[in-house]
Amino acid sequence: MDNLDTPEKITIIEGPTPTWELPNESWALSFSEGPTMPRVAVTRLRTFNGPSLVERCWKAWHKGRAVNLEYRTESGLTQEAQIVAARYVETPEGHVLLLHVNIGM
pLDDT band for 15, please (50, 70, 90 cuts).
confident
For the cut 60, the answer to whether the pLDDT of residue 1 exceeds it is no
pLDDT per residue over 49-94, tens digit each? 999 999 999 999 999 999 999 999 999 999 999 999 999 999 999 9
Predicted confidence at residue 5, as pLDDT, reads 80
pLDDT at residue 46, as a whole number: 93
Question: What Rg, from alpha-carbon coordinates, does the chain have?
Answer: 14
Residues 66-88 as b or e (16 or more Cβ within 10 Å = b): bbbbebbeeeeeeebbbbbbbeb
- Does position 105 have pLDDT exceeding 60, yes or no? no
85 residue type, one letter:
A
pLDDT digits (tens, 9 = 90+) for 27-49: 666 665 666 666 889 999 999 99
The per-residue pLDDT for 28 is: 66
Question: Given this model, what pLDDT does residue 103 score?
Answer: 82
